[in-house]
């Protein structure tokens, strides 16, 4: 087994071929926000559940605010440099290197590309360049496939999401994070040769909606989640994680997962 396979196993579990990744990298663009204002507290509490396979985190917060007794996988974000106060959130650039990620103990690297945005070309070039650097060291690259802010409706279009997933893989990503579409998501997965995992997107109205979305994605071939606010902004994040873990690794259906969620809340 080479280094790439070993590192992928730190993220995607061999037993199920799936993964539960919690993203806590939102602060790099959005600043302090509910659920991760005290990131160390959130990470400590959620990692204690033993259900998180890996974390997606920035280098700064990994260095200063990451504390766990477990041994989860670490995906270090290596693109950013745009905030909600700036002119365009899609104007990201490379903010780290594979060497820095390895020096910090990360298992994988993540970069964003924004399909259909003014910065599509540059973010795809950055993805391809980082893929080359990662593969020199057998480090997996997570391609976070975003959209330009004028393309919100296209988040629901499986043809457009399939384009983004395939393009990410074509440029060298080893795992794809993208949006779930309620219809046609099986075609997104079928057209992408690397594992597809779903983002949470905007906050779901209820935890049940989150469970339904994840279950639907899994049924269509997704290999898990790379999700943030739909977990840590839940009223009961630890209980929700248990239910999500049941969906991803335990083969539960939505009702069984919802029953587990309720039992954990009331237990």
Residue 13 bears catalytic tag: no
SS3 content of the chain, % helix, strand, coil (to 5): 45, 15, 40
Q: 3-class SS at 52? A: coil
Nearest CA-CA partner of 239 in 207, 214, 197, 200: 207
Q: How far apart are CA 46 and CA 232, in angstroms?
A: 8
Q: 3-class SS at 49? A: coil
Residues, the chain, total? 267
> Among residues 13, 14, 177, 212, which one is catalytic?
177
Side-chain-side CA neighbours of 25 within 13 Å: the count stands at 26
Alpha carbon of 97 to those of 130, 190, 233: distances in Å? 8, 31, 30
H or E segment to which residue 260 belongs: helix 254-266
What residues have CB less than 8 Å from 54, skipping those under 6 apart? 10, 11, 19, 20, 21, 22, 72, 73, 74, 75, 107, 108
Beta strands in 49-195 (DSSP E): 54-58, 73-77, 79-80, 93-94, 108-115, 141-147, 175-178
CB 238 within 8 A of CB 50: no
Q: How far apart are CA 173 and CA 134, in angstroms?
A: 10
Active site positions, annotated: 177
């Amino acid at each position: 087994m080479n280094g790439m396979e070993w590192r992928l196993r730190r993220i995607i579990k061999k037993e199920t071929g799936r993964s539960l990744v919690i993203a806590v990298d939102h602060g790099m663009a959005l600043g302090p926000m509910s659920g991760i204002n005290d990131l160390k507290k959130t990470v400590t509490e959620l990692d204690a559940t033993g259900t998180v396979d890996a974390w997606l985190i920035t280098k700064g917060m990994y260095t200063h605010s990451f504390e766990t007794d477990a041994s989860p996988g670490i995906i270090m974000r290596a693109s950013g440099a745009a905030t909600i106060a700036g002119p365009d959130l899609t104007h990201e650039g490379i903010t780290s290197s594979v060497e820095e990620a390895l020096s910090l103990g990360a298992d994988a690297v993540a970069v964003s590309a924004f399909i259909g945005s003014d910065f599509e070309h540059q973010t795809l070039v950055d993805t391809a360049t980082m893929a080359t650097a990662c593969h020199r060291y057998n480090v997996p690259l997570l391609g976070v496939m975003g959209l330009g802010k004028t393309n919100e409706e296209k988040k629901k279009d499986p043809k457009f999401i399939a384009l983004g997933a395939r393009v990410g893989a074509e440029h060298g990503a080893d795992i794809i994070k993208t949006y779930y579409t309620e219809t046609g998501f099986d075609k997104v997965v079928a057209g992408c040769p690397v594992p597809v995992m779903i983002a949470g997107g905007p906050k779901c109205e209820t935890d049940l909606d989150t469970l339904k979305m994840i279950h639907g994605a899994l049924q269509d071939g997704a290999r898990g989640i790379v999700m943030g606010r739909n977990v840590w902004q839940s009223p009961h994040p630890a209980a929700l994680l248990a239910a999500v873990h049941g969906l991803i690794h335990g083969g539960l259906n939505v009702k069984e997962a919802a029953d587990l969620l309720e039992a954990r809340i009331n237990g």
